[in-house]
Structure 1
Amino acid sequence: MTTAVPDPNAMLAALREGGHENLPDVDIRVGAGILDDAIAEVCGRGGMPAPVIISDGGPYRTAAGPVVDRLAKKLGCPVIQLGTGTVRADEETVERAVAEVASSRLLISVGAGTLTDIAKVTAQRTGSRHVAVQTACSINGFIADRSVLVIAGAKRTVVSRWPDMLVADSDLIGAAPPGLNLAGVGDLSTVPNAVAEWQLAAGLGHGPGYDAAVVEPVLAAMPALPALAQAARDAEPAGLADLARLLAGSGLSMGIVGSTAPASGTEHAVSHLLEMAQSQRQQPAAPHGMQVTVATRLALRVWQLVDRTVASSTTQLRVADEAASRDAVALAFGELGSKTVEECWTAYSKKRTWLLEHLADVEAMVARWDAFKKEVTLPTPEEFDDISHASGLPTRAADLGSSYDDRLLFWALRNCHLLRERISIADLADLLGVWSDDTARSIVDDSENG
C-alpha cells in the first residue's frame, strides 16, 4: 500500500502537541490476536469494576472459538444478550440494557456498530467503564462519543461516552462477512463530501468551527481506499488493521469536534431516511456504508446544481414561510407516523429559524462562492465513481437490494434537508429556490443512469 494510513494514537498525540485540549483518554488497540490479552489487561487494572459482557447475539469467533462464550468463561462474568444477531438502537432497547446493567460496571461490548452505540449510551447512563470490541470494519462509530438512536421513529445522533478501550483484532474482524468490512470503506469514501458540507456550515457560522487538523490525516488517506477494499474482500489481516485504524481516526474526528460533521453530510441524512423507510416497510436495510456510498453520488450532484445556479442566477435567497415548511415536513414523513413528523419538525424548525436570522451570512457566502469552492477538496461525481468502481462499492439503488429503487432514493434525497438541524448543500439549493421534485428526480435519474 503506497498511501500511508494514519495511526489514531499518533493522531491524538499530534493534536495534543498542536495545542488541542479536552482530547479523549481512549486506549486504541489494533492488531492480530490481541483480544484476549487486551481484555485481561483492562480487567486486571486496579479499581476496575466487575465486568459484564453485552452482545447482540452475533456468532463472533476466532480460531480460539466463540468470542463471547470464551470471554465470559475466562472472566466469570454474565452476558447480557440484546438480540439474536441484530438489535435495534431505540430507547426501549437502551432502557433494557441500562436496567440489566443496573450499576457501575465494566461493560465489554461485543457486536456490530448498533450494539456498540447502545453500549456507549448504557455506559454513560450507568456510570460504567467500557471496552468496545469491534467485530467488523463496518462503520467509523465504534470509537466516537456519539451514538445513533431511533427516537420517535427518526434517526438521531446523541452524545454518549468515549470507550475506555477500543479493541480491533484483525483475527475477529477477518471472520466477518467481507461485505460488512467493505461497508467500512464505503463509510470512509463519504468523508470528503461531509467535510465540504462542514466547511459550508462553519463558513456560515452554524455548528462547530472547521478544524482542518482533525480531518486532514483521514482525507490524505483517501487514495488508499481501493487497496483497503481489496483487503476487506480478501480478509487480509494487515489491510484490515489499516482499515480499522482509518475508521478509528474518522471516529475520533467526530468526537473531538463534538459533532458528526467531519464524517456525516447529506449522504448520511439520505441513508438515515432510507433506513427509516425500510424499517417502516419491515424490509432489511443494506449496510450503512453501502447506502452512504450510493447517497454520496447524489450529494455531489447537488453541489453541481448549486454551482450552476450561483453562476447563472441572481435570484434572491428565500426561506419558505412557517406554514409551508411545516406542511413540507408533514408531507415528507407522514407515512412514518405523527411522532416522526413532530420529531423532524422540531429539528428542522430550529434550522429554519437560524437561517432566517442569518440570511445575510448566506448571501455573503453565495457572493464569494468561487473563492469558497477553492477552499474545499471535493471530488466530482466522475472522480468519486473512479474510487467506487476501483473499490467494488455500490453505485445504484439496485446494488443495495431488491427493496431499493429510484423512487425510494428520490424520496430520501428530496427530503433529506428536512430530517435534522444540520445545514447541508441541499439546504443551500433550497434557499436558492432550485430544490424541487423535478431537480431531485433529475439528480437521481442522472445518478442511476450515469
Structure 2
Amino acid sequence: MITVPDPAAVLADLRGRGVAELPAVDVRIGASVLDGAVTDIAATLPATAPVILSDGGPYRTPSGPVVDRLAALLGGCPVVQLGTGTVHADEATVARAIGTVGAARLLVSVGSGTLTDIAKVTAQRTGSRHIAVQTACSINGFIADRSVLVISGAKRTVTSRWPDALVADTDILAAAPWRLNLAGVGDLSTVPNAVAEWRLASRLGHGPPYRGAVVDQVLAAMPMLPALASAARTAEPEGLADLARLLAASGLSMGIVGSTAPASGSEHAVSHLLEMALHRRGCAAAAHGMQVTVATRLAVRVWRLVDRTIGSAGVRVRVPDESAAREAVTRAFAAFEVRTVEQCWTAYRAKREWLLAHRSAVEALVADWAPFVASLTLPTPEGFDDAGRASGLPAVAGDLGAGYDDDLLFWALRNSHLLRDRISIVDFADLLGVWSDDSARSIVADAATGR
C-alpha cells in the first residue's frame, strides 16, 4: 500500500538512521488547527512582540478572514502588508519587510510561497522566530530553510531559516483557488527528474552528495499524485492534508541536504527564466508548480537525447571555451539589465571552470552511462506525459495562459544551464556537443505533440 509520508515521521526515521542537524520544526496539518496551533506554538517560544506579515491575499475560513483572526488572537498585533494579493521577492521588498518587522519579533507569515520566502529571510536577518501559515498547497518550499529571491534581476536561491512551525489548516487550503492547490501536485511531479539530476551531479562530485534516505519516501508516493490532484480540484480536506504532508516532506529534504537539489533540477531553472521574462514584460506568471511540470516534459526528453547520443559511436566530452561561453550568456540575457547578465555569467563561469577541472569524471560517467541510468527512478517521456494527464496537469505552453508560447519555452530551455551553477542534464547535453537551437526546438516540439 502506498502512503503519504508524514513530516514528523520522516524526521523521526532520519534521526533513527543517525542523520545529524535535523530541524526542530513543529508541523501542524489538519482541519481547524489554526487557532490552537498558533496559540500553542506562540506559548512555547520566547516572549517577543508578535507581528503578522501578509501579501494581502483574501485568505478566509468559515470563521472569517485569517489575518484578522490571527491579529485578534495575538492581542491586536500589527499587520505588515507587502502587497495586494501578490508580491515580488526582490531586494527592495525584502528590505522593506526587514525594516518594518524590526528585530527579535514573533513573525507570523500568512500568504503565498513567495511571501513565505520573504518571511524566512526576514526572520533570519532580524533574529525573529517564525510561524508560517500555509495558504495553499502550491509549492514544497513553505517549510524549507531556502528562499527564492530576485537578486540583480535574476532568480536566486539563498539560505534563509527554517520556520519554527508550519501550520497547514485544511479550512484555509480548501478555500484556496483549486488551481493553486493543483500547482502543488505539479511541483511534486518534478521530483523524479530533480533527483535524477542531483544523482548525476553527485556522481560527478559536484554539489551535495546524494542521500537517498531523504527522498525515498517522497519518490515512493509519486503514484498518489492523481488522487491528490483530484483532492485539489474538489477541495477534499483529507486529500488536501495528504498533499500538504507530501509537500512538507519534499521541502524537508531540501533543507536537510542544504540544497534545493532534491526537488529542483533543470525544470526549475526553466521556470525561473519564464518568470524573469514575463516580469520584464509586465505580464503575470502562471503558478510555479504549473510551469515546472510543463518544463519537466522538456527535461525528460533531454535525458532521452543524452541517452541516444551516448548510445551512438564517437562520443566526445567538450567543455565550452570561455569566450564562447561568455558570448552565450550575454546573448541569452541581452534583454535584461547588465547586472543580470553579470549575475548569470558569474554562476555559469564557476560551473564551467569546475567542469574543465573534472572533465575526466564526466568521461567516466559517459563510459558507465547505461547502468547509471538504469538505477534512476526517472520516468520515460511517455510515462511522465501519462502521469500528467492522469493528474490533469498542464502539458504545453498554451495551457499556462496568456504570455506563454513555444518560442518562450524554447528560449528558457535553450538557456536554462546558463542561469546558475548547478549541473543539469542540459549541461550534459552541452558537454556532449548536442545542445543547440535545433535540438532545443525539437524537444519543445516533441513535448507539445507527445513524441
Establish whether TM, by shorter chain, passes 0.5: yes
Deviations 1:275-299 (A, max 9, x none): 0000011111000000000000000
State the alpha-carbon separation in 2 of the partners of residues 96 and 413 from structure 1: 33
The 5 A counterparts of 1:231-242 are 231-242=231-242
State the alpha-carbon separation in 2 of the partners of residues 181 and 313 from structure 1: 46
Q: Secondary structure at the match of 1:163?
A: coil
Q: Secondary structure at the match of 1:275?
A: helix
Offset of 1:45 from its aligned partner?
Answer: 2.6
- Return 409-418 or 307-316, whichever deviates more: 307-316
Residue 6 of structure 1 is matched in structure 2 by: 5
Offset of 1:101 from its aligned partner?
Answer: 1.1
Residue 444 of structure 1 is matched in structure 2 by: 444
Residue 262 of structure 1 is matched in structure 2 by: 262
The 5 A counterparts of 1:54-93 are 54-75=53-74, 76-93=76-93
Deviations 1:206-259 (A, max 9, x none): 000000000000000000000000000000000000000000000000000000
**Which amino acid in 1 is paired with 2:133?**
V
Q: Secondary structure at the match of 1:385?
A: helix
Residue 309 of structure 1 is matched in structure 2 by: 309
Q: Secondary structure at the match of 1:54?
A: strand
Query: Is the Cα contact below 8 Å between 2:45 and 2:129 reproduced in 1?
Result: no
State the alpha-carbon separation in 1 of the partners of residues 19 and 40 from structure 2: 29
Residue 423 of structure 2 is matched in structure 1 by: 423
Residue 334 of structure 2 is matched in structure 1 by: 334
**Which amino acid in 2 is paired with 1:330?**
T
State the alpha-carbon separation in 2 of the partners of residues 70 and 312 from structure 1: 63
Q: Aligned pair 1:276/2:276, yes or no?
A: yes
Q: Secondary structure at the match of 2:240?
A: helix
Q: Secondary structure at the match of 1:44?
A: helix
Offset of 1:47 from its aligned partner?
Answer: 2.6
The 5 A counterparts of 1:33-432 are 33-45=32-44, 47-75=46-74, 76-432=76-432
Deviations 1:120-166 (A, max 9, x none): 00000000000000000000000000000000111000000000000
**Which amino acid in 1 is paired with 2:276?**
M
Offset of 1:3 from its aligned partner?
Answer: 2.5
Q: Secondary structure at the match of 2:233?
A: helix
Q: Secondary structure at the match of 1:223?
A: helix
**Which amino acid in 1 is paired with 2:91?**
E
Q: Secondary structure at the match of 1:49?
A: coil
State the alpha-carbon separation in 2 of the partners of residues 52 and 42 from structure 1: 14
**Which amino acid in 2 is paired with 1:100?**
T
Query: Is the Cα contact below 8 Å between 2:35 and 2:73 reproduced in 1?
Result: no
State the alpha-carbon separation in 2 of the partners of residues 320 and 229 from structure 1: 42
State the alpha-carbon separation in 2 of the partners of residues 230 and 48 from structure 1: 42
**Which amino acid in 2 is paired with 1:146?**
R
Offset of 1:73 from its aligned partner?
Answer: 1.7
Offset of 1:319 from its aligned partner?
Answer: 1.1
Q: Secondary structure at the match of 1:107?
A: strand
Residue 27 of structure 1 is matched in structure 2 by: 26
**Which amino acid in 2 is paired with 1:81?**
Q
State the alpha-carbon separation in 2 of the partners of residues 412 and 113 from structure 1: 22
**Which amino acid in 2 is paired with 1:32?**
A
Offset of 1:74 from its aligned partner?
Answer: 2.2
State the alpha-carbon separation in 1 of the partners of residues 253 and 439 from structure 2: 33
Query: Is the Cα contact below 8 Å between 2:71 and 2:78 reproduced in 1?
Result: yes
**Which amino acid in 2 is paired with 1:238?**
E
Offset of 1:46 from its aligned partner?
Answer: 5.8
- For this pair of structures, how many residues does the alignment match? 449
Query: Is the Cα contact below 8 Å between 2:121 and 2:147 reproduced in 1?
Result: yes
Indicate the percent of aligned positions where both proteins have the same amino acid: 71
- Return 263-272 or 38-47, whichever deviates more: 38-47
State the alpha-carbon separation in 1 of the partners of residues 170 and 46 from structure 2: 29
State the alpha-carbon separation in 2 of the partners of residues 442 and 119 from structure 1: 41
- Structure 2: gaps spanning 5 or more residues: none
Aligned CA-pair RMSD: 0.7
